[in-house]
Amino acid sequence: DDEDVYIALYDYDARTNDDLSFRKGDKMLIINCDEGDWWRARLLQDNKEGYVPSNYIAKFSSLDSQSSGDDKIAEKNNTKIIRLKINTRKLNWFSGTIWKQIRHEGMVKHYRIRKLDIGEVFISRNSSFLTLVDLVSHYCNDADGLCYALKQACKKLEIPQTAGLSRELADKWEIDRTSVELKKKLGEGQFGEVYEGMWNRTTKVAVKTLKTGTMDKNEFLREAQLMKKLRHPKLVQLYAVCTQSEPIYIITELMCNGALQSYLKGKGKDLAVPTLIEMAAQIASGMAYLETNNYIHRDLAARNILVGMNNICKVADFGLARITLFNNLTINIFVFTHLPLIFYALLFQNDIYEVSRDTKFPIKWTAPEAALRQMFTIKSDVWSFGILLTELLGKGRMPYPGMTNRETLEQVEQGYRMPKQPNCPDRLYAIMLSCWQAEPQKRDSFETLQWKLEEFYFSDDGVYRESENI
What residues form the annotated binding site for ATP? 208
> In whole angstroms, what is the distance from residue 345 CA to residue 353 CA?
8
Candidates 328, 285, 48, 57; CA nearest to 193 is 328
Candidates 120, 106, 112; CA nearest to 154 is 106
Task: Kindly report the number of other CB atoms within 10 A of residue 410's CB atom.
Answer: 12
How far, in whole angstroms, is CA 251 from its chain's centroid? 18
Active site annotation includes 299: yes
Candidates 17, 52, 12; CA nearest to 32 is 52
> In whole angstroms, what is the distance from residue 126 CA to residue 123 CA?
9
Which among 19, 299, 317, 381 is annotated as catalytic? 299
- Which residue type sits at 11? D
Rounded to 10 deg, the angle between the 378-393 and 273-292 helix axes is: 170
> In whole angstroms, what is the distance from residue 415 CA to residue 435 CA?
13
> In whole angstroms, what is the distance from residue 68 CA to residue 218 CA?
44
End-to-end, the C-alpha distance of the chain in Å comes to 37
> In whole angstroms, what is the distance from residue 387 CA to residue 330 CA?
20
Task: Kindly report the number of other CB atoms within 10 A of residue 75's CB atom.
Answer: 8
309: left (phi over 0), alpha (psi -120 to 50) or beta: beta
> In whole angstroms, what is the distance from residue 416 CA to residue 400 CA?
10
Binding site per annotation, positions = 208
Longest Cα pair distance anywhere in the chain, in angstroms?
Answer: 70
**SS3 category, 133:** helix
**SS3 category, 102:** strand
What DSSP character marks residue 146?
S
What DSSP character marks residue 383?
H
> In whole angstroms, what is the distance from residue 296 CA to residue 428 CA?
24
In this structure, the chain runs to a length of 470
Q: Which residues are catalytic?
A: 299
